[in-house]
Amino acid sequence: MAPDILLSELILRSVRETAAFGAALAPALQAGDVILLEGDVGAGKTHLARAIIRARLAAAGKEEEDIPSPTFTLVQTYDAGSCEIWHADLYRVGDPAECYELGLPDAFDTAVCLVEWPEALAEARPENALVLHLEMLPEAGSRRLRARGPEARWAGPVARARRLAGPDTASPGK
Ligand SMILES: Nc1ncnc2c1ncn2[C@@H]1O[C@H](COP(=O)(O)OP(=O)(O)OP(=O)(O)O)[C@@H](O)[C@H]1O
Ligand SMILES: [Mg+2]
């Protein structure tokens, strides 16, 4: 497996900046793309996923719908016109076999998939995924975002999202 490359590291100083990053990344996503959302409880994985989903639904001309956290349902799916979006939360999944029962590996090929707590995927973890790791910082409302993944697919979309998302000052050069 190719080593994960650190594509970008930035500080998101508010919920608004996190949402802006998600909305700016959303247009680049196409069927077959997988985003793995890592980070502790409350780090902002669902907040970021919601922003991506909301942006894609809006682009598809869909009325804004409720976007619940998949904490209990494990998977929520959305019809975003050109593609389906799967939003999964695998926190409660103990056995990787459950990921197959949920249909995730198939969806990785056919939909845009956003997966919180992807550790449960084990062998089913796709190699070409974009990994977004969120970390809580001591300053209230701030998160560090680290983006890793194959450069050929993800360097462009991540750089563009970063540029559009606003006045970030962290880690010059990255
Ligand atoms: N910069 C920020 N980005 C994202 N969320 C933030 C930020 N600052 C504060 N928050 C708050 O942190 C919380 C993040 O909750 P969220 O449900 O997105 O976390 P999560 O990582 O999905 O947690 P879980 O592991 O329980 O699924 C929200 O209450 C949100 O308002
Ligand atoms: Mg969550």
pLDDT tens digits, one per residue of 3-58: 679 999 999 999 999 999 999 999 999 999 999 999 999 999 999 999 999 999 99
Q: What is the pLDDT of residues 18-32, one digit of tens each?
A: 999 999 999 999 999
Domain ranges of the chain: 16-139
Pick the ligand that lies closest to the CA of residue 44: 1
Q: What is the pLDDT of residues 84-116, one digit of tens each?
A: 999 999 999 989 999 999 999 999 999 999 999
Per-residue b or e along 1-33, where b marks 16 or more CB atoms closer than 10 Å to that residue's CB: eeeeeebbbbbbbeeebbbbbbbbbbeebebbb
Pick the ligand that lies closest to the CA of residue 16: 1
CA distance 39 to 133: 5
Tokens of 97: 């076999």
Q: What is the pLDDT of residues 131-160, one digit of tens each?
A: 999 999 999 999 999 999 999 999 999 999
Which residue lies with its CA nearest to atom 18 of ligand 1?
A: 44
Which residue is associated with the tokens 């999202």? 161
Is residue 160 helix, strand or coil?
helix
Is the CB of 143 inside a 6 Å radius of any atom of ligand 1? Answer: yes
Which residue lies with its CA nearest to atom 23 of ligand 1?
A: 42
- The class level of CATH for 16-139 reads alpha beta
CA distance 39 to 44: 8
Is the CB of 68 inside a 6 Å radius of any atom of ligand 1? Answer: no
Longest dimension (CA), the chain: 43
The protein residues having their C-beta less than 5 angstroms from ligand 2 (an ion) are 45-46, 116
Residue 126, CB half-sphere, CA atoms under 13 Å: how many? 24
* The predicted structure's pLDDT at residue 168: 52
Residue 173 banded pLDDT, cuts 50, 70, 90? very low
Contact 116, 88 (CB under 8 A): yes
Atom of ligand 1 nearest to the CA of 17: 1
pLDDT > 70 fraction of the chain, expressed in percent and rounded: 94
Which residue is associated with the tokens 């990785």? 108
Q: How far is CA 137 from the centre of its chain?
A: 19
